[in-house]
Chains A and B, each alone.
Chain A
Amino acid sequence: SQQGEEDPQALSIQEGENATMNCSYKTSINNLQWYRQNSGRGLVHLILIRSNEREKHSGRLRVTLDTSKKSSSLLITASRAADTASYFCATESPGYSTLTFGKGTMLLVSP
């Protein structure tokens, strides 16, 4: 069953702007991960944040996690056309050996 739900479903911005995507989930987690998928390709792991962490950075990516609200956000700063892709959150729950993915946010960055 799908646990993560991304919001918005689609986002269209101009190059240079920031993009923020949100993910909500239902049960407790060990960690939350964000993945990117370019059209017709496999997913690529971007960043992992553990349940005891509140914020994590990787290059132009910033992820926050609020376990009290069961939500996470992914911020891409100074976006580029090459950031155009679908972004998925995935949760690993205690006792489970597999990840559960949301439906994704489709990001379009126009030059």
Chain B
Amino acid sequence: DGGITQSPKYLFRKEGQNVTLSCEQNLNHDAMYWYRQDPGQGLRLIYYSQIVNDFQKGDIAEGYSVSREKKESFPLTVTSAQKNPTAFYLCASSITWRARDSPLHFGNGTRLTVT
């Protein structure tokens, strides 16, 4: 079955440590996205990638970094510079960033807790 896999489902880290969240898709989609979700809030865009070896900052990129070396993979690193890293992180993909009316396909998220 085609889909998006995020791992791990739960992640615990100490303050001051960097942590990398994995996102892999086998949908052959060009575009990939990282969103952050806080309790009772909507989704806020962290970074997105339109194509391999290219990525753009979203609304809340500070304290995060990404890479897109392979079409299938879009890992997100939460750095120690992110002031409030505890959140639910969602990865998504779409066929192509230029396609209008293209829905997003989501993974099942990684819940990161930093203490």
Residues of chain A having any CB pair with chain B under 8 Å = 1-2, 4, 30-31, 33, 35, 40-45, 48, 50, 88, 90, 92, 97-99, 101-104
Nearest 7 CB-CB pairings of A with B: A42-B106, A45-B103, A101-B42, A101-B43, A103-B42, A97-B97, A43-B106
Count residues of chain B with CB under 8 A from any CB of chain A. Answer: 29
Question: Digit string of B91-105 for contact with A (CB within 8 Å is 1, else 0)?
Answer: 010000110110111
Alpha-carbon gap, A88 to B103, bound state (A):
13
Instruction: Determine if A99 and B104 form an interchain contact, defined as CB atoms under 8 angstroms apart.
Output: yes
Residues of chain B having any CB pair with chain A under 8 Å = 4, 6, 31, 33, 35, 40-45, 48, 50, 58-59, 90, 92, 97-98, 100-101, 103-109, 111
Q: Which residues of A contact B104 (CB under 8 A)?
A: 35, 43, 45, 90, 99
Alpha-carbon gap, A30 to B102, bound state (A):
11
Other contacts beyond A41-B108, A42-B109: 8, CB < 8 A: A40-B109, A42-B106, A43-B43, A43-B104, A43-B106, A45-B105, A98-B45, A101-B43
Q: Which residues of B contact A97 (CB under 8 A)?
A: 31, 48, 50, 97-98
Alpha-carbon gap, A33 to B93, bound state (A):
15
Alpha-carbon gap, A23 to B102, bound state (A):
20
Given A1-B59, A101-B42, A103-B40; A30-B101 close (CB under 8 Å): yes
Residue of B at shortest CB range from A104? Answer: B42
Instruction: Determine if A48 and B101 form an interchain contact, defined as CB atoms under 8 angstroms apart.
Output: yes
Rounded to whole Å, the gap between the CB of B29 and the closest CB of chain A is 13
Contact of B107 among A4, A42, A50 (CB under 8 A): A42
Q: Which residues of A contact B42 (CB under 8 A)?
A: 2, 4, 88, 101-104
Of the A-B pairs whose beta carbons lie under 8 Å apart in the complex, a sample of 16, sorted by A's number, is A41-B109, A42-B107, A42-B109, A43-B92, A43-B106, A44-B106, A45-B105, A92-B101, A97-B31, A97-B48, A97-B50, A98-B45, A101-B42, A101-B43, A101-B44, A102-B42
